[in-house]
Amino acid sequence: MAQHEDLDVLYSYLVERNDLDEFYSERTRISILKAIKGSGKTALCLKALDKVKELSNTNIAFIKYDNEISPDIEDLNHTKWVKEWKRLIIKTVGVEIGKEIGFAFDDDAMSLVEEAEKGGFKKRSIVTAICDRIWSKDIPIEKRDANRQITDNLIERFTSGKGLIWLFLDEIDQFFTIEEKSLLRIATFFVACSELSRRIPEFRFRLTVRPNVWTVVISKYSALAGLRQYTVDLTWGIDQLRALLAKRVSSFCERNGKKIDHHFDSDEDRDLWLINSVFDPYRFDLGKGERPPHMALSTLSDHRPRWLIELCKASLKVALKNHHQRIDIQDVNNCLFDFGVHRMEDLNAEYTVQCDSLLTLMKSFANHKPLFKGWSELKVFIKNDILRKTSVIIAGYPQLIEPKHIAQFLFSVGFFQIRIDGDGEYSHITFDERNDYFLHEEMIRDDVAYEIHPIFRKTLFLDIFTRNDRKWGS
């Protein structure tokens, strides 16, 4: 994960994103980045943090994670949770400001410095240190703590007319569950941030949340619907993943003293040259003619950067074991069973808060077929092989689950894609392109195919070479 990576190494392969203007813009008081696990949201936050600090030396910016700022109260009162979130956020801001103050000349500044000193985040001033050490029976010195609370009024007064305060609050939803307290905790977090962003003009909130958590919370707390306008979706296209993979290769070369002396006419040419130095482009194909390795790898990793890197590392081990100079598609293919198992476990962990039977739903397709020709065929399978055998509850969906709801949910987690064939070519429609596809049954097409994602086929024995080998799903 990005927060555990050395920053110099992280920045050496980080891809600049120019499509997230709202998230970077200082005009935007609150922005909520919706991103699935493994999509690089923490890395993006860390890079944005540095950018913000470079913009102005009066800006204060920091990043906090769930366990550093989350309230610990048992009460289920909405108002109390909002107040506690606000108190902790304000206190955290106070500490961060206090760390930056050189010498405190007024009461507000003194309070902020004292708060930072109490938390051990700032060296104590010479006055504080001397007063703590001096004692005389003839001239007793009584040191009193002003004990002023860091409030939103104090922060508002102190920051007025100064630089901006950027608060990157990441992974607040990492321990989210469907239980009432967890729902309340996340919902009131967004309420508190929204209210503080309106109260203190200098605050710039940058928040992250998983899309499925956002869906669940919004379905339970309609009052948050107004925050939809501030959400930004983080997705990765083919060209961006190509750049990411090439950056990984060039970063490795730089860290190991290998210079790249070639001249390239374009960034794309440079990316392809770097990728092809590790992957054999002539032995890399998924059945659609000659395609560059990064395209096949992007498909097999479902366009998630973390999954992409994990697949590449696993493939490299196989290639080295087989004494291959470069990785080819067979090396990748030999990793797909275990890779698919891990990805199904990842999805189950990621989406269990929305549906605790996701793993069962995916295993229902084992030893069946990788492609369903039309909605009628898929609908019959879901009705007979899933709904008649499994009780399914999906948060954010109707209580009475129908085949189209199962299809929509599996489509949303990336378990299958919509395939359109024509003139000897085919293309896919993903959830990012049509996230409302299954919501209205009259719009669901019967002239297209519904294809299980290649990640899972070997694991579910849907691959022609493995489906008769053994059974999996018990």
Per-residue pLDDT tens digits for 323-350:
999 999 999 999 999 999 999 999 999 8
Q: Are residues 94 and 159 in the same domain?
A: yes
- Residue 61, pLDDT > 70, answer yes
Q: Are residues 308 and 359 in the same domain?
A: no
Tokens of 60: 């204060």
Query: What CATH number does the domain containing 174 carry?
Result: 3.40.50
Q: Report yes or no: 343 and 330 within 8 Å, Cβ to Cβ.
A: no
Average pLDDT of the residues in 352-372? 93
Task: Tell me what pLDDT residue 207 has.
Answer: 96
Domain boundary pick from 202, 233, 264: 233
Q: Are residues 74 and 37 in the same domain?
A: yes
Tokens of 418: 């919509």
Domain boundary pick from 212, 233, 254: 233
Lowest-pLDDT choice from 143-147, 164-168, 343-347: 143-147
Domain count, the chain: 3
- Residue 160 is assigned to a structural domain of this protein: yes
Whether this model's pTM surpasses 0.85: no
- Residue 467 is assigned to a structural domain of this protein: no
| CA–CA distance, 438 with 403 (Å, rounded to integer) | 10
Tokens of 76: 């289920």
DSSP SS3 for 326: coil
Domain that holds residue 311: 238-334
- Residue 204 is assigned to a structural domain of this protein: yes
Element (H, E) at 186: helix 180-199
| CA–CA distance, 112 with 94 (Å, rounded to integer) | 5
Q: Are residues 196 and 51 in the same domain?
A: yes
Q: Are residues 323 and 432 in the same domain?
A: no
The closest of 437, 433, 389 to 409, measured between CA atoms, is: 437
- Residue 346 is assigned to a structural domain of this protein: no
pLDDT top residue among 103 and 31: 31
Instruction: Indicate the pLDDT class of residue 262, thresholds 50, 70 and 90.
Output: confident
Tokens of 226: 């107004």
Q: Are residues 257 and 405 in the same domain?
A: no
Q: Which of 35-49, 88-102, 157-171 has the highest mean pLDDT?
A: 35-49
Lowest-pLDDT choice from 250-259, 260-269, 290-299: 250-259
pLDDT top residue among 431 and 194: 194
The closest of 215, 327, 224 to 275, measured between CA atoms, is: 327
Element (H, E) at 299: helix 293-300
The CA-CA-CA angle for residues 25, 28, 29, to 5°, reads: 130
pLDDT top residue among 17 and 295: 295
> Partners of 327 in the beta sheet?
279
Q: Are residues 396 and 296 in the same domain?
A: no
Instruction: Indicate the pLDDT class of residue 8, thresholds 50, 70 and 90.
Output: low
Task: Tell me what pLDDT residue 5 has.
Answer: 60
Q: Are residues 25 and 159 in the same domain?
A: yes
Domain boundary pick from 182, 199, 233: 233
Task: Tell me what pLDDT residue 95 has.
Answer: 82
Characterize the bridge pairing of strands 30-34 and 165-170. Answer: unpaired
Q: Are residues 89 and 158 in the same domain?
A: yes
Tokens of 427: 């293309």
Element (H, E) at 169: strand 165-170
Q: Are residues 14 and 119 in the same domain?
A: yes
> What's the Rg (C-alpha) of the chain?
27
- Residue 198, pLDDT > 60, answer yes
DSSP SS3 for 292: coil
| CA–CA distance, 10 with 275 (Å, rounded to integer) | 19
Q: Report yes or no: 426 and 420 within 8 Å, Cβ to Cβ.
A: yes
Characterize the bridge pairing of strands 165-170 and 60-65. Answer: parallel
> Partners of 449 in the beta sheet?
373, 419
Characterize the bridge pairing of strands 371-373 and 449-452. Answer: antiparallel
- Residue 403, pLDDT > 90, answer yes
Instruction: Name residue, tokens 């107004």.
Output: 226
- Residue 310 is assigned to a structural domain of this protein: yes
pLDDT top residue among 63 and 260: 63
- Residue 25 is assigned to a structural domain of this protein: yes
* C-beta pairs of 57-62 under 8 Å, 24+ apart in sequence: 57/163, 58/162, 58/163, 58/164, 59/163, 59/164, 59/165, 59/166, 60/96, 60/97, 60/100, 60/163, 60/164, 60/165, 60/166, 61/165, 61/166, 61/167, 61/168, 62/92, 62/96, 62/166, 62/167, 62/168
- Residue 470 is assigned to a structural domain of this protein: no
Sign of CA dihedral 217, 219, 222, 225: positive
Q: Are residues 201 and 310 in the same domain?
A: no
Q: How many other CB atoms are found less than 10 A from the CB of residue 440? A: 9
Average pLDDT of the residues in 406-422? 91
- Residue 225 is assigned to a structural domain of this protein: yes
Q: Are residues 244 and 221 in the same domain?
A: no
Q: Where are the beta strands (DSSP E) in 349-446?
A: 371-373, 416-422, 425-429
- Residue 166, pLDDT > 80, answer yes
